[in-house]
Amino acid sequence: MHVHIGTDHAGFELKNRLVAALQNKGHEVTDHGAHAYDALDDYPPFCTDVGEAVVADAGSLGVVIGGSGNGEQIAANKVTGVRAALVWNEDTARLARQHNDANVISVGARQHSEDELESLIDLFLAEPFTGEERHQRRIDLMARYEETGGYGSDSAAAPTGA
């Protein structure tokens, strides 16, 4: 699988370790930075670069890393077509793929050990989307809102207003 990965200074050392580990597991990895440690760098460009690459590269998945993973998830989700999930345990790693067909995982380098994070990323990458109609319907609703700013009148789940 092709994996796109990016981080700021908070996950710099972890990212470098993960690139090697993922390659050793047979994944093709594209490193979107940071390429040098800079304590003053900003995470949004690295995360949006990962998101744009994932959207452009059908079938690939992305990994964004930060101190907590929160901002990184938000930044990646600004890219149309990205479904980035903040993952903090095995269940959230599996469910992000099973139910949400998430295409980017966001993790916090300061929240877990490197071994734990590698395990969560491995789970995410290995887990397939179930394809169940209810999950796909929800993904389609989010995509419609992202594209149009609304859900459309044909959806039973469409909000009725404020």
Tell me, yes or no, whether 158 lies in a domain.
no
User: ω before 34 within 30° of 0 (cis)?
Assistant: yes
Centre a 10 Å sphere on the Cβ of residue 62 and count the other Cβ atoms it contains.
Answer: 29
The domain tally of the chain equals 1
Tell me, yes or no, whether 157 lies in a domain.
no
Q: What pLDDT was estimated at residue 97?
A: 98
What is the band of 152 on the pLDDT scale with cuts at 50, 70, 90?
A: confident
Q: What pLDDT was estimated at residue 157?
A: 54
CA–CA dist 112, 109 (Å, integer): 6
Q: What pLDDT was estimated at residue 162?
A: 43
What's the CATH number where 113 sits? Answer: 3.40.1400.10
What is the band of 149 on the pLDDT scale with cuts at 50, 70, 90?
A: very high
Domain extent at residue 79: 2-148
3-state secondary structure of 4: strand
- What are 94's two structure tokens? 């599996």
Tell me, yes or no, whether 25 lies in a domain.
yes
Smallest CA-to-CA distance from 62 within 125, 112, 119, 123 is with 125
Tell me, yes or no, whether 161 lies in a domain.
no
Give pLDDT tens digits for 72-87.
999 999 999 999 999 9
Tell me, yes or no, whether 142 lies in a domain.
yes
Active site residue ranges: 72, 99
Give pLDDT tens digits for 49-73.
999 999 999 999 999 999 999 999 9
User: At residue 156, does pLDDT exceed 70?
Assistant: no
User: At residue 158, does pLDDT exceed 90?
Assistant: no
- Please give the model's pTM, rounded to 2 decimal places: 0.93
What is the band of 154 on the pLDDT scale with cuts at 50, 70, 90?
A: low
Tell me, yes or no, whether 29 lies in a domain.
yes
Tell me, yes or no, whether 27 lies in a domain.
yes
Q: What pLDDT was estimated at residue 155?
A: 52
Give pLDDT tens digits for 92-144.
999 999 999 999 999 999 999 999 999 999 999 999 999 999 999 999 999 99
